[in-house]
Amino acid sequence: MNGVRPVSGSGRLVLAATPLGDIGDASPRLVAALASADVVAAEDTRRLRSLAAALDVQVGGRVISFYDQVETSRLPGLVDALHAGQTVLLVTDAGMPSVSDPGYRLVAACVEEGLTVTCLPGPSAVTTALAVSGLPSDRFCFDGFPPRKSGERQRWFGALLAEPRTVVFFESPHRLAATLADAAEVLGADRRAAVCRELTKTYEEVRRGGLGELAEWAAEGVKGEITVVLAPGAPVEGPSMESLVAEVKQRVADGERMKSAAAEVAAAAGVSKKALYDAAVSGG
pLDDT digits (tens, 9 = 90+) for 205-258: 999 999 999 999 999 999 999 999 999 997 666 677 888 899 999 999 999 999
Give bridge partners of residue 90 from the DSSP assignment.
15, 41
Residue 150, C-beta contacts closer than 8 angstroms, at least 6 positions apart: 178, 182
In a domain, 20, yes or no: yes
Average pLDDT in the 110-126 region? 95
Q: What are 169's strand-pairing partners?
A: 228
Of 156, 167, 281, which Cα lies nearest the Cα of 232?
A: 167
What CATH number corresponds to the domain at position 84? Answer: 3.40.1010.10
Q: What is the total residue count of the chain?
A: 284
Is 135:231 a contact under the CB 8 Å cutoff? Answer: yes
pLDDT higher than 70, residue 6? no
What is the rounded average pLDDT for all residues in the chain?
92
Residues 112, 77 share a domain? yes
For residues 12 and 36, is the Cβ–Cβ distance under 8 A?
Answer: no
HSE-up of residue 232 (Cα within 13 Å, Cβ side): 13
Sign of the Cα pseudo-torsion (66, 57, 199, 162, in order): positive
Looking at residue 170, which CATH number applies to its domain? 3.30.950.10
Q: Residue 1 above 50 pLDDT?
A: no
- Domain end: 107, 123, 139, which one? 123
Final residue in a domain of this structure, among 88, 108, 123 = 123
Q: Look at residue 133 and tell me if it is in a domain.
A: yes
Looking at the structure, tell me whether residues 191 and 111 fall in a common domain. Answer: no
Q: Is 151 in the same domain as 204?
A: yes
Same domain, 68 and 154: no
262 and 220 belong to one structural domain: no
Query: Could you tell me if 71 and 18 lie in one domain?
Result: yes
Residues 57 and 108 in one domain: yes
Q: Are residues 113 and 153 in the same domain?
A: no
Give 246's contacts (C-beta < 8 A, 6+ positions apart): 284
Kindly indicate the confidence band of residue 282, based on its pLDDT and cuts at 50, 70 and 90: confident
Nearest to 229, CA basis, from 198, 191, 262, 261: 191
Range of the domain at 174: 126-230
Residue ranges of alpha helices (H) inside the chain are 28-36, 45-55, 71-83, 104-113, 125-133, 150-158, 176-187, 211-218, 241-253, 258-269, 273-281
